[in-house]
A and B are shown apart, each in its own frame.
Chain A
Amino acid sequence: MRRASKKKRREKIGLLTANVGLIVLCFIVLVPILYAVSVSLNAENSLLSSDFSFIPKKFTLDNYRAVFMDEPVLHWLKNSLILAIITVFISLGTGIPAAYVFSRKNFPGRKIILQLLILLYAFPSLLSMTALYRLLTPMGLLNTRAGLVIVYTGTMAVFALWNMKGYFDTIPVEIEEAARIDGASNIQLVTRIVLPLAKPTIAVTAMMVLIYVWNEYIFAINFMTGSDTYTLAAGLYSLQATEMSGSWPIFAAASMVVSIPILLIFFALQKNMQTGLTSGGVKG
């Protein structure tokens, strides 16, 4: 009897320590974000004073207004959206049929191509930047949206194919066979049966491509000159590179503006992540 209560007490203390530990951890994890949020909302630039607090003493939205009015953020946003939509469209349009075929059909060369694709997946596109630069220049594609779309679709093509193929593999073939006996053609099979079943992976693949384009800055700043062609990522990068110390509150506000759409998409699709991501660990 006594022993049982002693054990219970020990468990309670253990739980309490775990809770304290996790709260501290959550705080540490959120500090950089909370700090930026607080700075972006603070009217008095208390940057240099030492009595900083996480809750702004004087609330303001001036920094956000400045982001939209003084900086070409809306223009960058438009560029990013156009690039992202075109890239997602091409990636899915080419990726879905290829993934389906590689999952369902057995044809000569299939295995070798798949193995080659794994090796290509390991290759960071950053490393062929010089080559891409030299190839795009004579075609007049440097400093154009088309040039960036080419780089981005190429970078994501291997991922899109692999990821969706992996998901198609998990859909039982029997359903399709039954439909085939009923006389469905290949195109009917895909549009009526496979695509509806593959919705989670299509959503997640589209999301990963979109996030990649949204976050890519290094090709954008090297291949695009002039800030009116910048994407959001390139714009934000240039904002912090050129006038960093002066406009840290504005930069903080801009960071939030850029992050919120991605945060929303991420948490909305989080449930699909486990099922839609087959090759796992695609971040980075």
Chain B
Amino acid sequence: MNNRKKKWSEVVFSYLWSAPSLILILLIVIFPILYTGYISLTNMNVYHWNNYEIIGLENYKDALLVFDNGFLTALLLTVLWTIINMILQLIIAFLVASLLNLKGLRLRNIYRTLLIFPWAMPGYVSILLWKTGMFNSQFGLLNQWLEKFGIQPVRWLGGNVSAFLSCTVVNLWLALPFMITIIDGALQSVDKSYYESALLDGASWLKRTFYITIPLIKPIIAPSVVITTFTTFKQFDVIYLLTQQVGAKTGADIHTILTYAYEKAFITNNYGYSSAISIIIFVILIAFSVITNIKPKEERQ
């Protein structure tokens, strides 16, 4: 009897203590998501801000069945963007981390500190510095260098392909320090004795990498890789700030799903449609996190 009473008080205590946080999340996170779901079923836009009507699943049909509306293109581009960025990130980060772990490298700590800088800088500041400092077609550093070699200035952010590549470069620049740090840490934890017998057998660097290093560090870096894949998929700042700022569009027409949703909401003011896009993205993200199974340690066991 006493025991049950004690258990009850524990439950009450638990909910009492977590209530402020949970109520905050319920009101500011969950409720707006549900409301977004409701808006997605209406024709709310700039002309129907208050006198909107429920139109059922029309917005979802427009997004998923009409290719010309651009959502499917944006989705494909986002997938492509994620794949290219993740592959490049993993390869480059692995190579750099391997260099940092070379035996006898004296300055490694200086290199580590310098390489981490882009991670420490505020992301949007870096992106704006890239836009004005590096890519600007008149006084950007890249074109200044080209000029020295007598090459015509390039409008880096003007065309779709070159803008995509420029965004990729900036995204790599922003994301690599984190990935290098993770792989660097993983490499340091690898037991060196694994390599000794392999070296005696005369295994090449490539063989050692593929048969020893990668299998050993895979479980260590896996959670970070999954999370980085998410952030890459959800990337907004790089593409928006480089190519789509209001009044400063560069002419490139590349959209990830997030910049697409934003444009439909706050530039063309098609709130119903944009909300439908938001819900679709949320469903994709949920499916993705169920597949990759990122669960806390205790639940995974």
Contacts and interface: CB of A to CB of B under 8 A. Distances in A.
Interface string B19-41: 01110110111111101100100
Name the prevailing secondary structure of the B interface residues: helix
B35 A32 contact: no
Interface string B274-300: 110010011001101100001111110
Given A15-B102, A129-B265, A283-B231, A122 B289 contact: yes
Interface string B101-141: 01111010001011111111111111011111110101101
Contact of B100 (A22, A217, A237): A22
A98 interface: yes
Contacts of B11: 107-108
A30 B230 CA distance: 26
Interface in A219-268: 222, 233, 236-237, 240-241, 244-245, 248, 251-252, 255, 258-259, 262-263, 266-267
A125 interface: yes
A152 B33 CA distance: 15
Most buried by B among A155, A240, A281: A281
Interface in A112-157: 113-115, 117-120, 122-132, 134-135, 150-151, 153-155, 157
Contacts of A97: 17-18, 20-21
Interface in B203-254: 223-224, 227-228, 230-231, 234-236, 240, 245-248
A157 B117 contact: no
B173 interface: yes
B107 to A, nearest CB: 7
B10 interface: yes
A66 interface: no
B132 A240 contact: yes
Nearest to A262: B122
Nearest to A190: B17
Contact of A157 (B28, B114, B134, B246): B28
A76 interface: no
Interface in B134-152: 134, 136, 138-139, 141, 144, 147-148
A110 B11 CA distance: 10
A35 to B, nearest CB: 5
B77 interface: no
B174 to A, nearest CB: 8
B284 to A, nearest CB: 10
Contacts of A119: 286, 289
Given A123-B33, A280-B223, A114 B299 contact: yes
A282 to B, nearest CB: 8
A263 B177 CA distance: 14
Contacts of B117: 29-30, 33, 263
A172 B289 CA distance: 29
Interface string A14-39: 11001101100110011111011001
Contacts of A120: 25, 29-30, 33
B183 interface: no
Contacts of A130: 36, 39, 265, 271, 274-275, 278
Given A32-B133, A128-B36, A263-B121, A154 B138 contact: no
A65 interface: no
B15 interface: yes
A279 B295 CA distance: 10
Contact of B294 (A118, A135, A259): A118
Contacts of A181: none
Contacts of A240: 128, 131-132
A29 B35 contact: no
B19 to A, nearest CB: 8
A9 to B, nearest CB: 13
Central interface residue in B13, B96, B114, B121, by most chain A CB within 10 Å: B121
List the 7 closest A-B pairs by CB distance, nearest first. A154-B28, A98-B21, A281-B227, A127-B278, A266-B120, A98-B18, A128-B32
Given A115-B295, A125-B29, A284-B175, 10 more contacts: A32-B126, A32-B173, A33-B121, A117-B25, A123-B282, A131-B33, A153-B24, A240-B128, A248-B139, A283-B123
24 contacts: A15-B105, A25-B115, A30-B117, A32-B130, A35-B133, A97-B21, A99-B21, A107-B10, A107-B15, A118-B294, A122-B286, A128-B35, A130-B39, A130-B265, A154-B28, A154-B29, A215-B124, A240-B128, A248-B133, A252-B132, A262-B121, A263-B120, A284-B123, A284-B234
Interface of A: 11, 14-15, 18-19, 21-22, 25-26, 29-33, 35-36, 39, 47-48, 50, 52, 90, 93-95, 97-102, 105, 107-108, 110-111, 113-115, 117-120, 122-132, 134-135, 150-151, 153-155, 157-158, 160-161, 166, 169, 186, 211, 214-215, 217-218, 222, 233, 236-237, 240-241, 244-245, 248, 251-252, 255, 258-259, 262-263, 266-267, 270, 274, 279-281, 283-284
